[in-house]
Amino acid sequence: MKETIGSRRIGEQYQKILHPSGLTILLYPMEGFQSAYALFATNYGSVDETFKTEGDADFVTVPAGIAHFLEHKLFESEDGDAFARYAKTGANANAYTSFDKTAYLFSCTDHFKESIEILLDFVTHPYFTPQTVEKEQGIIGQEIRMYEDNPDWRVYFNLLGALYHVNPVRTDIAGTVESIAKIDADLLYRCYHTFYNLHNMTLAVAGNFDPEVVLEAADRILKAAPKQELTRKVAEEPGDVRTSLVEQKLPVALPLFQIGFKGKAGTEKENLWGKIADEVLLDIIAGDSTPLYRRLLEAELINQSFEGEAMASRDYALTLFSGESRDPKRVRDEIATEILRLRSEGIDPEMFDRVKKAVYGRYMGMYGRADALAGLLVTAQFADVDAYEILEMLASLTLEQLNRRLPVSFDVERCALSIVRS
């Protein structure tokens, strides 16, 4: 089944194909581009620790870090390493695991046909043995220990551990040395066949490529996947934060901080809209054009590293401010005071219009970059919307909606501060 999805707003369109294998394929040729970018993703991330299919009598819980472990292992096969195969085509390949998805990707200017075939082939042909799993446990264990001493990583996951009591988002995406020691080949195959079912996956390609080449490769390589019911168990997370302050000592020139606000998650589509609204609110509260930002900068309480971020997925939502400061607690207090002022007085309409236009401009820029666009296509598909609906959500955002959203996303009673200092 093929569908053309277009946008009158920006005058562009792309193709959405439901392939006979069960895979959703999104094709977005971009005129004037020299390179192509492909993203093959599964709706499966580190938070998916407890789940069941229709064949399971009860939920199964797997060790933390197994999604990330799978990402590493899929590049290996009986015939060698996928990176070695890509080296022959000249493509730049990579992969990542996030809280809610795992993705395999490449970009290339030549030999697109060979590169897309490699991508579809190695992701759909797992190969795990006790020996290779044991070897990978040592490699990932070293990676975990390295990040234990990384100040930027620690200040981030310390914040998540402060905000959340039991939600798996509080756990390092790679897991722990203890949790990955419990992973074996059978568990990897179990998770692979559960979450790498093609009905749970999306292939997005953007840039300079021939759509027919993608479809021909899919027809040759992909086998029809059985439809399955998949249920993920949502953690019963309390509404409050676990602790309001967490500090750790590591070598840093200036204390690092992250100030987080625990939000309320909804459906994936609601979370996508909420994330967009929260990005606007972050810039209204302490963006670089606000009086608060200038005051903090002039008082030397922050520097150019200061920024905000909104996060949301299937069962969590949060906003955070991060940076370096000699007095992180004062930065937190100043931000809390500004939030309470905005809640009391309401958001200034002129500020709302200015920030909304700026955020809209940032999103428009993503539609002009093949890598960012492929990511948007996947994000939208997993949220059950089309890629242009993201722009429509932002364009239709009102001042009244933001004033109602503010106390939900920025509740000063559901706030935690993470600090890493020497």
* Residues 131-162: tens digit of each pLDDT: 999 999 999 999 999 999 999 999 999 999 99
Average pLDDT over residues 331-342: 98
Mean pLDDT of all residues belonging to the chain: 96
pLDDT category at 216 given cuts 50, 70, 90 is: very high
Q: How far apart are CA 367 and CA 371, in angstroms?
A: 9
Q: Measured at the alpha carbon of residue 106, what is the angle toward residues 76 and 170, in degrees to the nearest 5?
A: 75
Catalytic residues: 71
| Higher pLDDT pick, 81 / 43 | 43
Q: Answer yes or no: same fold for 2-232 and 245-421.
A: yes
- Looking at domain 245-421, its CATH class is alpha beta
Mean pLDDT of 335-347: 98
Dist. CA 44–CA 313, nearest whole Å: 11
Say if residue 286's pLDDT is above 90: yes
Q: Which residues contact residue 382 at a Cβ distance below 8 angstroms, ignoring those fewer than 6 apart? A: 41, 43, 100, 101, 202, 268
pLDDT bucket at 304, cuts 50 / 70 / 90: very high
Whether 301 and 327 have beta carbons less than 8 Å apart is answered as yes
pLDDT of 247 above 90: yes
pLDDT number for residue 187: 95
Backbone angles phi, psi at 98, to 5 degrees: -115, -170
At residue 184, the 3 state secondary structure works out as coil
Taking alpha carbons only, the member of 86, 179, 80, 177 closest to residue 132 is: 80
Q: Where are the domains of the chain?
A: 2-232, 245-421
Residue located via tokens 């080949």: 185
Between CA 91 and CA 379 the distance in angstroms is 24
Tokens representing 208? 């300079």
What are the structure tokens assigned to 106, written together?
């490449």
Q: What's the average model confidence in pLDDT over 361-374?
A: 96
> What integer pLDDT is reported at residue 109 of this predicted model?
95
Q: What pLDDT, on a 0 to 100 scale, did the predictor assign at position 313?
A: 86
The closest alpha carbon to 103, from 174, 44, 190, 172, belongs to 44
Return the closest-CA partner of residue 136 out of 40, 186, 68, 45: 68
The mean pLDDT value for 183-198 works out to 96
Whether this model's pTM surpasses 0.85: yes
CB distance 165 to 238 below 8 Å: yes
Fold held by 2-232 = Cytochrome Bc1 Complex; Chain A, domain 1 (3.30.830)
Q: At residue 79, does pLDDT exceed 80?
A: no
What is the C-alpha to C-alpha distance for residues 346 and 90, in angstroms, rounded to an integer?
54
* pLDDT at residue 67 in the model: 97
How many other C-beta atoms are found inside a 10 Å radius of the C-beta of residue 220? 10
The pLDDT value given to residue 54 = 87
